[in-house]
Structure 1
Amino acid sequence: MVSGVAAQAGGLTDADAGITRLNAGDSTAAIALFTRAIQSKELTPEGLALTYYHRGMAFYREGQSGRAILDYATALWNEDLPREFRPRTLNNRGLAFEAISDFDSALTDYSLAIKMSPNYADAFANRGNVHRRFNRFDIAIIDYDSALRNGHPRPQFVFAWQGMALEGQGKRREAMEAFRRALAIDPNFALAKSRLDRLEETQQMSNVLGRRKVAKGPVTPLVLSATPGTSPVAAAEGNVQLTPWTPAPPVPDAALTPVAQSATPARNPVSLRPAFDDQPKQVAPSTPIVSSAAAPKAVAAAPVQPPVQQQRSKPRIVTIEPSRETPQVPVSATGEGGSDVAFAIQLGSFKSRDQAEVGWNKALRVAGDLLNGLSHVIETVPVEDGVAHRLFAEALPDRQAALGLCRTLRDKGTTCIVVRR
C-alpha cells in the first residue's frame, strides 16, 4: 500500500501496481504507473509524497539520475512524507548525486541521513565510499566500521571496501584480512577474491626475495698482498712459487705513458639483482563505487624523492534543510519532471526567440538526461538597446535541486543561474 489512508481507487491502484512492477525489476512500467497515479490527483498528500519517492527509485534504476534527484527532492519537500522515509530518501538522493559526479551534494545528503537516523548503516557505507574515492582512507575506515557495527545488510561489500581503503594506506596484511572476512561470508565474491590473490602473490614474491638476500650474505672484498718474492696469483692460490722478484729499473718521467686504471672499483656499483615493488600498482574500481589507490614507489639505485601529489580539495559539507514555503505540490502536465514552479534555471539571454530555441536544443544535446521532462520558457524583457529573450527551464521542486542541477550543467559547459519564479 502506498498509504494507510484511504484514497480513490484509480490513483491508489496505479501506485500499488507501480510498486509491484518496481519490485519485479520492471522500472519502465513502474515509471508509467507512478506517473499516471500522480496525474490522477486522487492520492492523499502522504501517498503523493511516497509515489514521488518510489518513482525516484525507478528513475535511478533506469539510469536517469537527474530525474531521480528531482523526484526525491519533491518527496522531501512534502511535509507529509513519513518521518521514517526521510533518511532513506536522502540516502537514495545521495546515490543519484554520486551518479552525476556531484560528490559535495552526495556527502551532504549522507550526513543528513545519518543525523536523522544515527544507526543508518547504508548511509555510513556510502559516505565511506565517497571519502575513499578522494583518498581520505582514515575517515572511510571509520565509516565502514560504523556500517558494520550497525548491521549493514551486505557486510561482504563493506569488508571489501574496507580492504581497499587499507590497501590504499599500504597496510597489506590488514587489507588481506578484510578480504578474507568478505570471502568468509561469500566465497564466490569475485572482487574480494581477485584483490586477495594479488596481495598474496605480492607477499609471496617479497618473502622469496628476502630469503635470497639472507642466503647470499654480505660480499667481503679479497685483498692481495704484493710482497716481493711472491706473485699476486700465487698469494691467491697458495700453491705456486716463482723466482725472486726484482723491481724494474726506474724509467724517466718523460718516457711514461698514462694508462687508465681499470683495477679501481667504481664508487657506486650498479646492482644486477632484479628490483621488485611490492606495493599495489593500481586499485581497480569497485561496483558501485570507484576507488583510486596510492601511487607505487619506484626502486632506484639512489633515493628519489616521491613526486608531490596535488592535494584535492575536500568537499565542503553543508547542511541544507528541505524548503517548505509552498504548501501544495502542483503536478506538471506530463507528470515527468518536478512539481513546483517556485524555482527555475536561466540558461541564457538571446537577441531573438529563434536563438533562444537554438540555445534550448543545444542544452538538451549537452545534458538531455538532466533536462528531459523539464519545460522551457522564453520570456521577452525590455533592455536598453531593444528587447532580450531569456531562456528558462522549469519546474524544480526546491532551491537545493536547482543548485545541484545548475552546478552539474556548468560542469558540462552550459551557462546556468538559479532564479525564483
Structure 2
Amino acid sequence: MPSLRNIEWRRACAIALAAGMLLAAGGATAQDSAAEATALMGAGAEAIENGRFEKAATDFSNALDSGGLDAAGRALAHYHRAIAFQKTGQQDAAIADYTRAIGAGTLPAAVQARAHYNRGIALAAAGNTEKAEADYRATIALASDYAAVYHNLANLERRRHDYDAAIGNYSTAIRLMSGTERKLPLFGRALAYEQTGNAGGAEADLREALAIDPEFELAGAKLAELTARPAAHAAKPATQVQAARATEPRVLPATLTPFQSASSGHEGGAAIRIASSGGWETTAVRTTPVEKPADIAAVVPGPAQDAEKANDRLTTASLRPTSLVPHPTGQAAIQASAAKAQYRIQLGAFRDEETAAAEWGRISTSAAAIVGSFEHVVQRADLGERGIFYRLRAGAFEGIGEARAACKALETRKIACVVVDG
C-alpha cells in the first residue's frame, strides 16, 4: 500500500504534468492563432492587390477575430480593412477603422500618414470638410512632401473661397509633383487666380497644364473662355463673380480608384513592400512594367529585416483628369448605337459625376488597348434611401459573349467590370 507521502508526491507530479500540458497547449494555441492571423493578413493584402475588396475586408475581419495579432498588428488590420471598406464605398465603416488604427498609436509613421490622408478623403466624400481638412493637415505634419494632400487641401480651400490659401497649397503641390499629374493643381490654381482677378496668372497656368497634356479638355475649355472675355472681365462686379463660382467646374480631387488612392501602397510599383510595426521589407517583385515604385502596407510577423526610413515618399493618389461629362459626340454615338446594343459593361458606381468621370480617365489611359474604341456614359441613378449614384458604363455589345470578353480582359488589369443590359 503506497504511503501518504508517495500519494502526495504522485499527486504533485500529476498536477505539474497537467499544468505543463496546459502551458504547452496554451503555447501551441497562441502559435496557431498567430500563424492563422499572419495567413489571413497575407490573404487580405493579396485580395487588395487583386482588387477583391470584399474578400479583403473579410480576411482582415477574421484576422482581427483570430486572437493572434498584437496591438501593432491589430492597428494594421484595421487600417487595411478600412481601405477595403473605402474601395467598396462604405465610407462610415472606413472612417471608423481608420480612427481605430490611428488611435492605436502603433502604426509606422508612413502608414499613419496614409491613414490620415485616406480618412480625409472619406470624410470629404461624406461632406465633413472640417474634419477632412484636419486629417489633411495631420498628413502634412507626418509627411510634408506628400504632394497629393496639398492638392486636396487646396480644393477644400478654394471651394470655401479662401483663394489665397488655396493658391499657396496648389503651388506646393505643383512644386512637389512630377509628371503629368502636375496639370491638375495647375488647373486648380488657375481657377483660384481667376477668382482673385489674376487673369494673366490663370492663363499661364492653363497653358502650362495644356503643355503637359494637350488633351486636357477642362483646361482647354477654361483657357478658351478666359481669352474670349473682354479685358474688363478682371474688374467684373461681385454679383458676376458669384455667378461664375456657381458654374465653376470643380478640380478633380485625388479620387478613390483601385490601386490609386485610399493609399494602400498598390498605386503602381515594381516592388511590393510589406510593412510591419518595425519598418519596411521588400518581399515580392512584380514583373509587369510600371511607372514608379510604391509601397504596400500589410503585416509581417516579427521585425522587418531591412527597414527603410520611415519618411519614404508616399505615392500620390490618382490625379488623372478627365472631362466632367461625356463628350457630346460620344453621347450621340452611344444613343445611335443603343438600338443595336444589348449589353454594356459597368465599371463602377460613384457618389458624384466627377469621380465617375475621373475613373473613366484612369481606365481609358491604363487600358487604352481594350477600351480605346469604346464610348462611355455616366448615368445618374436614384436609389432612394441609398442615395444618388453615378454609374460608369461603356461599350455597346450585341452579344453577351463580347461583353464578357471585354470584362475578362479588363479584369486581367485589375479593373472591376460587370456586364449589364444595354
Normalised by the length of structure 2, the TM-score is 0.47
Q: Which has the higher contact order (CA 8 A, sep 6+)?
A: 1
Larger relative helix fraction: 2
Normalised by the length of structure 1, the TM-score is 0.47
